[in-house]
Amino acid sequence: MTSCRLCPRNCGINRKKQKGFCKMGNEIIIYTAFLHKGEEPALVGDRGSGTVFFSGCNLRCIYCQNYKFSHLLEGKNITIEELARLFIRLQERGALNINLVTPTHFLPQILESLLIAFKKGLDIPIVYNSSGYEKKEIIQKLDEIVDIYLVDMKYYSKEASIVGSETADYHFYNKEAILEMYKQKKTLLWEGKILKEGLIIRHLILPGFVEEGIKIIKWIEENTPHALVSLMSQYKPYFKAEKHPLLGRTINYQEYEKVKSYLENTHLEGWIQEFLPPQNLAGPYLLPLDKVKIL
């Protein structure tokens, strides 16, 4: 971490002395960890996904629903050994997998924690839950460690990437990383209805960007046809998006139906979130680590 180049930002700084674009230094900070029942059905079953939310992020999505810890940096410092113990504790609680949310900027520490946990009996699948702003060469190093990639495909174009995440090259790195993930996890491994290995690509429909969603689905069908697709409709204008001219509203039914219909006319498999009117959209409510008593 003396010259950090874990993500496409390529900050090149010494994170033992400075903080990177992700606003994180060398110490692991997590916001919370619990048995998550709200992920895709194949990840949660009736027991839940052992989910760990890391603070900080290498993106600047103006509508981020997790902005309290992704951007405002709420969270608790935790050591490598404590993180390993947390993984084991989640397994003991019945977690079907260990779900690492926004892990990129802490990868070296996480890998150390996993090695400790593996030696202590951790044997459930590892889920790499990513915003999708990743470097292909970093993803290559995760082969044989990660079992399931759960990755966002937020935008198809440079223009949309800039509007939503103030990041001009997201679309390029995202596609390249997903192709590497697919190379590793093209074959889905199931145990009943529970996914043990594979690739899940998520897309959140954004207001005013329906064509982006359609282009993304088309790209997935042409390039990663055996990946599972999770189409999400729960967009709300959080954080800086509330007054944005394009992203300052929820999606309407016509936008939802257009993307949904396109997906339904492909051979892709996965999940489609039902449409909910604005008044029924629930906001994220995550208890911080000191309130969940998992350690």
Q: What's the pLDDT at 285?
A: 56
Is 63 within 8 Å of 170 (Cβ atoms)? Answer: no
Residue 91 falls inside a structural domain: yes
- By the 10 Å C-beta count (0-12 exposed, 13-18 middle, 19+ buried), 108 is classed as middle
Q: What is the pTM of this model?
A: 0.95
Q: What's the pLDDT at 139?
A: 99
Name residues whose C-beta falls within 8 Å of residue 279's C-beta, 6 or more positions apart in sequence.
none
Residue 20 falls inside a structural domain: no
Strand partners, 202: 152, 230
Span 201-256, pLDDT tens digits: 999 999 999 999 999 999 999 999 999 999 999 999 999 999 999 999 999 999 99
What phi, psi does 283 have (nearest 5°)?
-80, 165
Largest CA distance in the chain: 52
Give the structural domain span for 122: 28-292
Residue 103 falls inside a structural domain: yes
Across the chain, where does the E strand assignment appear?
Answer: 28-36, 49-54, 76-78, 98-101, 126-130, 148-152, 189-191, 194-204, 228-232, 269-272
Residue 136 falls inside a structural domain: yes
Rounded to whole angstroms, the Cα distance separating 223 from 295 reads: 41
| Rg for the chain, CA atoms, rounded | 18
Identify the CATH number of the domain in which residue 41 sits: 3.20.20.70
Total of domains in the chain: 1
Q: What's the pLDDT at 276?
A: 83
